[in-house]
Chains A and B, each alone.
Chain A
């Protein structure tokens, strides 16, 4: 149980376009989801906390107009990278707060590789 799935796994987009990444909790409801960015050989950088039905809370230094987060249902959060530039190329990972039975455990998606050309 507690499976989180991200889509797409890989995406290449042209500079200036927008790209959407989906994060779904497949077998549980997640009121809270998190979005991270990971640079090569580095730890996770928390970008924002997404709460179902309310606005996301962004970490300091993360542009909320560039990284749009929507958490419209208890099983889906989306991250849209708007007007993407090559420096936005990265590995993006989501996680979801698990079911009640898991305590405070968060479960991760598989990650999404974004390349902006």
Chain B
């Protein structure tokens, strides 16, 4: 079946450090892939997405590239800020709107 696996957290970084949160997926067919971010006490916000192989989604300094050969969609940011502290969810969708989420990775950024 379809699934999404992302690295366990929490991830703790110092401000301006490089961030990578790994995400891999299994799917029949070619899913659309998403990263959502959840700030404390809030709902989820769409951060970025990619709909086909080799697409790169980017937003607010975050990037993720759809790698079909490795079935991955790793989230990266070159220089994190304290305000990036949140929970990040990787997700996939193979059709319709039903979306499968990873377990979430909590990021703490220290000043």
Residues of A within 8 A of B (CB): 6, 32, 34, 41-44, 49, 93, 95, 97, 103-111, 113
Question: Given the known A-B contacts A105-B34, A108-B43, are A43 and B102 also in contact in the complex, defined by CB atoms under 8 Å?
Answer: yes
In-complex Cβ contact of A104 among B89, B97, B102, B104 (8 A): B97
B27 contacts across to A, CB distance below 8 A: none
Q: A34-B97, A44-B89, A108-B45 are in contact. List 6 more A-B contacts (CB 8 A).
A: A32-B97, A43-B89, A43-B101, A104-B95, A104-B97, A109-B43
A/B interface sample: 6 pairs, CB < 8 A = A6-B43, A95-B44, A103-B49, A105-B93, A106-B97, A110-B42
Q: In the bound complex, what is the Cα–Cα distance between A111 and B41 (angstroms)? A: 8
Q: How large is the interface on B (under 10, 10 to 19, 20 to 34, 35 or more residues)?
A: 20 to 34
Question: Given the known A-B contacts A43-B101, A97-B97, are A105 and B42 also in contact in the complex, defined by CB atoms under 8 Å?
Answer: no
What's the least CB distance linking B5 to chain A, in Å?
12
Q: Which 8 A-B pairs have the closest CB atoms?
A: A97-B97, A111-B43, A108-B44, A108-B43, A104-B93, A110-B43, A43-B103, A32-B97
Q: In the bound complex, what is the Cα–Cα distance between A103 and B95 (angstroms)? A: 9
CB of B61 closer than 8 Å to a CB of A: no
Residues of B within 8 A of A (CB): 32, 34, 36, 41-46, 49, 51, 89, 93, 95-99, 101-104, 106
B43 contacts across to A, CB distance below 8 A: 6, 93, 108-111
A95 contacts across to B, CB distance below 8 A: 44, 99
Q: Are B44 and A104 in contact (CB under 8 A)?
A: no
Q: Are A105 and B106 in contact (CB under 8 A)?
A: no
B51 contacts across to A, CB distance below 8 A: 103
A41 contacts across to B, CB distance below 8 A: 106
What's the least CB distance linking A102 to chain B, in Å?
9
Question: Given the known A-B contacts A93-B43, A108-B45, are A32 and B96 also in contact in the complex, defined by CB atoms under 8 Å?
Answer: yes
A104 contacts across to B, CB distance below 8 A: 32, 93, 95-97, 99
What's the least CB distance linking A87 to chain B, in Å?
21
Residue of A nearest to B93 (CB): A104
Q: In the bound complex, what is the Cα–Cα distance between A41 and B38 (angstroms)? A: 11
